[in-house]
A = this chain, B = another copy of it.
Amino acid sequence: MLIASPQTMRFEAALPMRSGAALRDYMLRYETHGQLNAERSNAVLVCHALNADHHVAGVYEGQAKSLGWWDNMIGPGKPVDTDRFFVIGVNNLGSCFGSTGPMHTNPDTGRIYGADFPVVTVEDWVNAQARLLDALGIESLAAVMGGSLGAMQALSWALQYPERVRNAVVIASAPNLTAENIAFNEVARRAIVTDPDFHGGHFYQHGTVPKRGLRIARMIGHITYLSDDVMNEKFGRQLRDAVLSKASQGTGVAPDDAAPYKFSTQDVEFQIESYLRHQGDKFAEYFDANTYLLITRALDYFDPAAAFDGNLSRALARARANFLMVSFTTDWRFAPKRSREIVKALLDNRRKVSYAEIDAPHGHDAFLLDDARYLAAVRAYFKNIEVSA
């Protein structure tokens, strides 16, 4: 098992951001696995999505349960083989998992940023990551990779730093959000912002946490991460445990009243409710509300074709990397057709693209799960990446 050792890099020079703001004196938390080779040609940057961080693989010393979020993908002998590649996981600015974020102190005011943390974009994250690579002495990436929002960063790397990216691995992604995607983000944000404990984003100084809003946000998110099918398979219309065990004891139920409901609008009746409440409760314990707002907004804003009248082919003309694109059939959040838009635009530019559309039941979450064909596709792609001259 890999042992992960998080490190912190401090940056004093201001990072100009897309909004016009600049962030100075900030820190990036990151971890690395494997060895950078002498040619410095085997680095793989892993970008994270909403609820993740720099901790991509292995465990922290002495914490057996602290498994990295992409440990099935990254490690010795794994699809992204750390015996060959030097893997870098980096936590994004605005996060609540180590890099500078809304809960840190603004050096300009001496006060906690809160809602004043500058609005970050995918492009800003990529620029910050590029500075980290500069500091690590890595000019060129063997690959940049990510799923979902992480995939948007990988795609943006190929556009912002075309000469520094040899391969981009873009999984469960989209060239931008649809109106429905934005709508779900907006409802989640409104739930947070209108929670009285949010205090306009300055809840830290009130000693509160907008947990009600965070719970709702997470519940909405979870619905969109799973497929209808997998929800029906895992939960269906099953009632909560207590009722199930009562029912299995053979409590007689008349045909007209077969379902042993509690007849309550506020108690849990169905397993799916219990699952969602549990996910919401957990999330509200550790996730920062301002971070949630920032990250969902970064998703909303991402739209590389916007500067080219919506023409994605023209937008991707800058890219020089080879691409592996992966999508999942039951992902209704970032459906395969959205990945195919990117594939088509890359092919329009005569880029080399491998595209795997994986028939997986798990919806958007599939990019984190153990699907043999998916992992095999990534493995095969990385096997063909040359790391030395």
Cβ-based interface call for A255 (8 A) = yes
**A187 contact from B180, B183, B220, Cβ within 8 A:** B220
Interface residues in A207-235 by Cβ distance below 8 A to B read 212, 215-216, 219-220, 222-223, 226, 228, 231-232, 234-235
A119-B264, A178-B232 known; A280-B183 Cβ under 8 A: no
* B residues less than 8 Å from A222 (CB atoms): 183
A178-B232, A231-B183 known; A266-B293 Cβ under 8 A: yes
Cβ-based interface call for A18 (8 A) = yes
- Report whether B228 and A190 are in contact in the complex, using a CB–CB cutoff of 8 Å: no
**A182 contact from B18, B272, B303, Cβ within 8 A:** B272
25 contacts between A and B (CB under 8 A): A19-B261, A115-B265, A119-B263, A119-B265, A176-B237, A178-B232, A178-B237, A179-B231, A179-B232, A179-B237, A179-B270, A182-B270, A182-B273, A183-B231, A186-B219, A186-B272, A187-B219, A187-B223, A194-B216, A216-B216, A220-B220, A254-B307, A259-B307, A265-B297, A266-B293
- Report whether B270 and A300 are in contact in the complex, using a CB–CB cutoff of 8 Å: yes
Cβ-based interface call for A353 (8 A) = no
**A215 contact from B179, B194, B254, Cβ within 8 A:** B194
- Report whether B182 and A237 are in contact in the complex, using a CB–CB cutoff of 8 Å: yes
**A216 contact from B190, B226, B237, B297, Cβ within 8 A:** B190
- Report whether A179 and B236 are in contact in the complex, using a CB–CB cutoff of 8 Å: yes
Minimal beta-carbon separation of A340 from chain B (angstroms): 16
A residues lining the B interface (CB < 8 Å): 18-21, 115, 118-119, 123, 176-180, 182-184, 186-187, 189-191, 193-196, 201, 212, 215-216, 219-220, 222-223, 226, 228, 231-232, 234-237, 253-259, 261, 263-266, 269-270, 272-273, 276-277, 280, 290, 293-294, 296-297, 300-301, 303, 306-308
* B residues less than 8 Å from A187 (CB atoms): 216, 219-220, 223, 276
- A119 CA to B269 CA, complexed, in Å: 13
Known: A20-B263, A119-B264, A183-B276. 18 other contacts (CB 8 A): A178-B232, A179-B228, A179-B231, A179-B234, A179-B270, A182-B237, A186-B219, A186-B272, A186-B273, A187-B219, A190-B219, A191-B216, A194-B216, A237-B306, A258-B308, A259-B307, A264-B297, A265-B296
* B residues less than 8 Å from A21 (CB atoms): 263
- A234 CA to B178 CA, complexed, in Å: 11
* B residues less than 8 Å from A273 (CB atoms): 182-183, 186
Minimal beta-carbon separation of A143 from chain B (angstroms): 24
Closest to A309 in B: B258
**A308 contact from B255, B293, B301, Cβ within 8 A:** B255
* B residues less than 8 Å from A183 (CB atoms): 219, 222-223, 231, 272-273, 276
